[in-house]
């Protein structure tokens, strides 16, 4: 497929087949979608939703506007389902455009592509002539959003649906409870949301509106009731159901806990019956996620006579058997309600029924073990968006690759320069996955790889920070789930990503590049300081993996096998400069591009101007931000980074001077750069100096 002509549009995910043709469809008078005769109501509604989106960009379509003809399209089911036909065919000529899709969900993807393909030059708006035949590679392309740690309200979720649709994501997985909160209204068990939903929860009407909006976009909504562990919020409302300790107050601490439901009590199963009835009524999807992760084994190592007798009667010999027995019971309850269960990879057990779908989050080893044991499976291990990895690292994981390739890709994370100081923790998590996998026998019927999900846990994410944390990396996952792996190209992806993020801001209410403007005001930034603050923040990045969430001391404790004392909990305000930093800085992509462009053409004016601009703005930061540092402790804490950027400005100017004179940067410059990089890396901080990396990479390429 040759799609290079359209990479400037940010065409992403990469389509299956795109053939550029001669000519263009002029859109000076707008674009009018033509419905096929006797279109079913869902198709009519689809056009009613997309026509205003084209009109907003092109102006209201005049009578003589260009036309986009939609071929006869089936309405499909009442709700999107796993395995629906999502293919489409788009043909654009100078005389008009035609969209052919077997289902309304495929037509929705086709309209999203048309929005991406809109272009403009001196002659006005147009669509380039082409033939595009497309459809997703894998049927389950999801994202998990965690509503428990920090609540995401209905308006936030509704705007997020548009961003997900732009990426071709078709599953929104909602983590609805954890120790810190219970986030949906239970009419059968109201004590749960009344006592443990104090920071917000989705009302019954909210869920109905969310599901309807998702359905209109071809997105399934999969709820997660996380049991038997992570049950602090449930046990805050019903302490009588605790297998171990019950919290005296609603827990605020993050991390694995010992709060778990007691499977030996009839009352526990009565509560679960009621909650599953609630979920089945609220969410029409065929799948319900039941969690099953991070249950501390000591909680189910019962020593009291009653529960030891219960274990004996059920034939259970250890804590793992108790949890597996519990999970099998929930799977059966879901089956009685016509639903299928999904669980995190800790649910893997020789006694687990094949009907359980396994979500592999700890490593490729559990993915392969699940498939070999006959379970359908989802991959998430390389796609934890809360870990602060740049998008290029997430892009390296192909869930359908041979297991040896996936294992190698995961192991390679530990050797990444970005992650060198946490490599041991990365390898430890993968080793735990491998240990789980060893206990499982293979069966004759291999399970199906359904797809995968990006996971954004919300310990350090609020609804104001969501967009900046989500889309840049979600785009990488979306392409690996949608597109032909033969065409996967990391460099091409990074080239297309900025345009796609700009597209998302243009066609939705999501703000992955600009973020929430109120956040800088809340930090005390005056209007005249805003540009300088943005210059500072775009040159920084957060520390990676769990290093920030655990803190330096907590990371050391974890390495020594002691419970970490975490610096954050659910009440910590996330309104410091580090909270505003995206894991990828578009400005640093621009810096890297300009450096290599100057090397290719030392007399090139655009690259030289760009690099001089970076240096000039960095040099002015100590002066421009002096007053802000005096009145703001969060910015005072960045004083070293501000000074380091000013020093880097001098080095960058010297580098540009040398290259422009057709000379190599001298040893003295390299040594000064190395010393600055060493000092910056040695700082005990939650931020890193992102601007060092592209310059360092460029210097290394010139040796």
Q: What torsion do the CA atoms of 232, 238, 242, 245 make, to the nearest 10 degrees?
A: 60
> What's residue 2's pLDDT?
38
Average pLDDT score over residue span 309-315: 97
DSSP E strand stretches across 63-189? 66-70, 88-93, 96-100, 119-121, 124-134, 140-146, 171-175, 177-178, 181-182
How high does pLDDT run on average in the chain? Answer: 94
Q: How far is CA 442 from the centre of its chain?
A: 32
Beta bridge partners of 89: 100, 133
Mean pLDDT across the stretch 186-197? Answer: 98
Can you name the residues that pair with 125 across neighbouring β-strands? 120
SS3 82: coil
pLDDT tens by residue, 128-185: 999 999 999 999 999 999 999 999 999 999 999 999 999 999 999 999 999 999 999 9
Q: What is the pLDDT of residue 8?
A: 38
pLDDT (average), residues 308-332: 97
Closest CA to 83 of 451, 486, 368: 451
What pLDDT, in 10s, does the model give residues 267-293?
999 999 999 999 999 999 999 999 999
Distance between start and end Cα atoms, the chain: 36
pLDDT at 487: 87
- Whether the pLDDT of residue 100 is over 60: the answer is yes
Q: Which of 210-224, 405-419, 644-658 has the lowest mean pLDDT?
A: 405-419
Among 372, 365, 317, 316, which Cα is nearest to 345's?
365
Does position 6 have pLDDT exceeding 50, yes or no? no
Rounded to whole angstroms, how far apart are CA atoms 160 and 468?
12
pLDDT number for residue 577: 95
pLDDT in tens, 512-524: 999 998 999 989 9
| Burial class of residue 660, CB neighbours in 10 A (0-12, 13-18, 19+) | middle
Between CA 78 and CA 288 the distance in angstroms is 18
73-77-78 Cα angle (round to 5): 115
399, 485 in Cβ contact below 8 A? no
Q: What is the pTM of this model?
A: 0.96
Q: Which helix (H) or strand (E) holds 321?
A: helix 319-336
Percent of the chain with pLDDT over 70: 99
Per-residue DSSP letter, 119: E
Cα within 13 Å of Cα(308), Cβ side = 4
User: d(Cα 163, Cα 454) in Å, to the nearest integer?
Assistant: 14
User: Is the pLDDT at 15 greater than 70, yes or no?
Assistant: yes
Evaluate whether 5 touches 128 at the Cβ level (below 8 Å).
yes
Residues whose CB falls within 8 Å of the CB of residue 444, separated by 6 or more in sequence, listed in order:
374
Residue 146 has what pLDDT?
Answer: 98
Asked, as a colleague might, if the bond just before 672 is cis with ω within 30 of 0, I would say no
Q: What is the DSSP letter of 572?
A: S
Does 621 score more than 50 pLDDT? yes
CA–CA distance, 201 with 139 (Å, rounded to integer): 30
> What gap in Å lies between CA 384 and CA 452, rounded to an integer?
11
pLDDT at 703: 77
* 157-160 long-range Cβ contacts below 8 angstroms, 24+ apart: 157/210, 158/209, 158/210, 158/213, 159/508, 159/509, 159/510, 160/466, 160/470, 160/510
- Strand extents, DSSP E, 345-448: 357-360, 377-379
Q: What is the mean pLDDT of residues 247-265?
A: 96
Confidence of residue 10 (pLDDT cuts 50, 70, 90): low
In whole angstroms, give the CA distance from residue 7 to residue 331: 45
Task: Look at residue 3 and tell me whether its pLDDT is greater than 50.
Answer: no
> Domains in the chain, ordered, with CATH?
17-134 (3.30.379.10), 140-487 (3.20.20.80), 517-701 (no CATH)
Please report which confidence band the pLDDT of residue 465 belongs to, taking 50, 70 and 90 as the band edges: very high
- In terms of C-beta distances under 8 Å and separation of at least 24 residues, what long-range contacts does 573-578 make, across chains too? 574/150, 574/460, 574/461, 574/462, 574/465, 575/519, 575/522, 575/523, 576/523, 576/634, 577/523, 577/533, 577/536, 577/537, 577/540, 577/634, 577/635, 577/638, 577/687, 578/540, 578/542, 578/548, 578/686, 578/687
- Is residue 381 within 8 A of residue 412, CB to CB? The reply is no
Is residue 334 within 8 A of residue 344, CB to CB? The reply is no
CA–CA distance from 614 to each of 187, 587, 619, 645, 701 (Å)? Answer: 57, 9, 9, 10, 21
Residue 218 is predicted with a pLDDT of 96
Burial 627-657 (b: 16+ CB within 10 A, else e): ebbeebeebebbeebbebbbbbbebbbbbbe
Return the pLDDT at 539.
97
């Amino acid at each position: 497929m040759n799609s290079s002509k359209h990479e400037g549009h940010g065409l992403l995910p990469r389509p299956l087949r795109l053939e550029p043709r001669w000519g263009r469809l002029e859109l000076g008078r707008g674009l009018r979608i033509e419905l096929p005769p006797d279109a079913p109501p869902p198709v009519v509604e689809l056009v009613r939703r997309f026509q205003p989106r084209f009109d907003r960009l092109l102006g209201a379509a005049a009578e003589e506007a260009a036309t986009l003809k939609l071929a006869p399209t089936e309405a499909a089911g009442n709700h999107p389902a796993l395995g629906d036909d999502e293919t489409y065919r788009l043909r654009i000529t100078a005389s008009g455009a035609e969209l052919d899709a077997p289902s309304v969900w495929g037509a929705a993807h086709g309209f999203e592509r048309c929005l991406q393909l809109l272009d403009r030059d001196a002659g006005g708006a147009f669509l380039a002539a082409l033939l595009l035949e497309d459809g997703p590679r894998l049927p389950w392309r999801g994202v998990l959003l965690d509503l428990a740690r920090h609540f995401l309200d209905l308006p936030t979720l509704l705007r997020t649906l548009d961003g997900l649709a732009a990426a071709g994501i078709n599953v929104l997985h909602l983590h609805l409870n954890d120790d810190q909160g219970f986030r949906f209204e239970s009419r059968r068990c109201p004590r749960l949301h009344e006592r443990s939903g104090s920071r917000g929860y989705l009302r019954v009407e909210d869920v109905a509106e969310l599901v309807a909006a998702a359905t209109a976009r071809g997105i399934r909504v999969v709820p997660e009731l996380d049991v038997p562990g992570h049950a602090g919020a449930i046990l805050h409302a019903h302490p009588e159901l605790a297998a171990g300790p019950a919290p005296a107050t609603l827990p605020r601490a993050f991390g694995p806990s010992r709060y778990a439901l007691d499977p030996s009590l009839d009352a526990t199963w009565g509560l679960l019956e009621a909650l599953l009835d609630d979920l089945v009524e609220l969410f029409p999807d065929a799948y319900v996620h039941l969690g099953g992760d991070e249950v501390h084994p000591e909680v189910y190592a019962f020593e009291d006579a009653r529960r030891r007798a219960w274990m004996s009667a059920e034939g259970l010999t250890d804590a793992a058997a108790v949890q597996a027995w519990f999970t099998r019971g929930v799977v059966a309850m879901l089956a009685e309600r016509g639903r299928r269960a999904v669980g995190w990879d800790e649910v893997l057990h020789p006694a687990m029924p094949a009907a359980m779908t396994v979500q592999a989050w700890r490593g490729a080893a559990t993915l392969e073990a699940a498939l070999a044991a006959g379970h359908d499976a989802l991959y998430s291990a390389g796609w934890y968006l809360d870990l602060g990895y740049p998008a290029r690292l997430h892009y390296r994981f192909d869930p359908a690759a041979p297991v040896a390739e996936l294992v190698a890709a995961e192991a390679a994370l530990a050797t990444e320069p970005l992650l060198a100081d946490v490599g041991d923790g990365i390898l430890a998590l993968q080793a735990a996955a491998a240990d789980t996998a060893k206990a499982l026998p293979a069966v004759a019927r291999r399970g199906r790889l359904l797809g995968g999900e990006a996971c954004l846990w919300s310990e350090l994410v609020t609804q104001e920070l969501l967009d900046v944390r989500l889309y840049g990396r979600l785009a990488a996952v979306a392409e690996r789930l949608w597109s032909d792996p033969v065409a996967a190209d990391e460099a091409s992806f990074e080239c297309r990503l900025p345009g796609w993020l700009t597209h998302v801001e243009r066609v939705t209410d999501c703000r992955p590049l600009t973020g929430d403007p109120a956040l800088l005001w809340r930090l005390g930034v005056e209007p005249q300081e805003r540009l300088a603050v943005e210059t500072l923040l775009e040159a920084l990045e957060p520390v990676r993996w769990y290093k920030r969430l655990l803190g330096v001391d907590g990371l050391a404790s974890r390495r020594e096998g002691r419970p970490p004392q975490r610096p954050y909990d659910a009440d910590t305000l996330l309104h410091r400069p580090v909270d505003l930093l995206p894991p990828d800085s578009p400005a640093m992509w621009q810096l890297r591009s300009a450096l290599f462009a100057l090397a290719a053409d030392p007399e090139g004016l655009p690259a030289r101007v760009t690099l001089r601009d970076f240096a000039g703005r960095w040099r002015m930061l100590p002066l421009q931000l002096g007053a802000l540092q005096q009145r703001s402790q969060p910015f005072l804490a960045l004083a070293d980074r501000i000074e380091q950027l000013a020093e880097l400005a001098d080095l960058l100017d010297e580098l540009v001077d040398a290259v422009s004179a057709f000379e190599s940067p001298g040893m003295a410059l390299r040594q000064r750069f190395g010393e600055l990089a060493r000092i910056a890396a040695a700082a005990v901080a939650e931020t890193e100096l992102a601007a060092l990396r592209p310059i360092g990479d460029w210097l290394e390429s010139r040796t």
